[in-house]
Amino acid sequence: MALATALAAVEVFRLLRSAGYVTFAALGTALALVVVLDAAFPELLEGSGLLLGAVGIVLVAVGSFSRPDPRDGLAIWMATIFGALYVSLLSFVVRLGHAAPALPAGAPLHWLGSERGWILLLVLAVWSYDTGAYLVGRNLGRTRFLTHISPSKTIEGLLGGVVATAVVIAILLFALGQNPLHALALGPVTALAAQAGDLAESTVKRAAGARDSGTLIPGHGGILDRVDSFLFAAPVVTLYVLALIR
């Protein structure tokens, strides 16, 4: 996750630069990386992620003071913090593994462990949304929405993705020894969060005039193109699991 975060940060700061935003890219990348690494050691200090974010805001603000025009300094400050905190949302993948409840002894996937089990649910949920939305949208999609951000998105594809996500989450919840009925709520909110994550990255790419976030993965773009849905889905799934599943 640290490697993915570092690569995604490089890509997002490159996109921001192409969109006309000057940033402290190195400082923003370091801040994102530190926040994600901190998530791997939750026992060190409670609330340390928020503390690191606050320190990062202070450091970037101090750096922006060097700009003669305060408007330029404010733009740099805001763009750098946005880029850093945006990609550091991957930290919730790590936090989900640490904080999610233990699996019951009789759960079919008990052997996998709670850390891997809950992260598996997140990964398969996001993938199932992408797959369901693509297949239904391609074959049945008629009603387009938010075409100024992503021309190919359809309402039918969105609904297909929601159904696919709910079904996969229900299966995974059963396999993790949890009540599958949680999928009635967790499925749609995860699917909508994944879609929002995809649209958020598309917004950044549109502003930058770029089709892909990078060229790291031939035929698939950059690492940000692969994790954009997880950036929004991970905190949503983490919040739901911690608040409503015991």
Chain segment 76-94, per-residue pLDDT in tens: 999 999 999 999 999 999 9
Whether the model clears a pTM of 0.85, i.e. scores above it, the answer is yes
Contacts of residue 15, Cβ cutoff 8 Å, sequence gap at least 6: 204, 205, 207, 208, 210, 213, 224
pLDDT-derived band at 45 (thresholds 50, 70, 90) equals low
Residue 143 has a pLDDT of 94
| Average pLDDT rounded to a whole number, residues 42-55 | 78
* Residues 179-211: tens digit of each pLDDT: 999 999 999 999 999 999 999 999 999 999 999
Residue 104 has a pLDDT of 93
- Which two tokens mark 245? 């599943």
| Average pLDDT rounded to a whole number, residues 165-192 | 97
Q: Between residues 223 and 48, which one has the greater pLDDT?
A: 223
- Which two tokens mark 126? 């996001």
- What does the mean pLDDT of the chain come to? 93
Cα–Cα–Cα angle for 113, 1, 135, nearest 5°?
Answer: 85
Phi, psi of 144 (to 5 degrees): -85, 150
Contacts of residue 41, Cβ cutoff 8 Å, sequence gap at least 6: none
Cα end-to-end span (Å), the chain: 26
Residue 47 has a pLDDT of 62
Among all chains, which residue has been given the structure tokens 């692969």? 226
Residue 94 has a pLDDT of 94
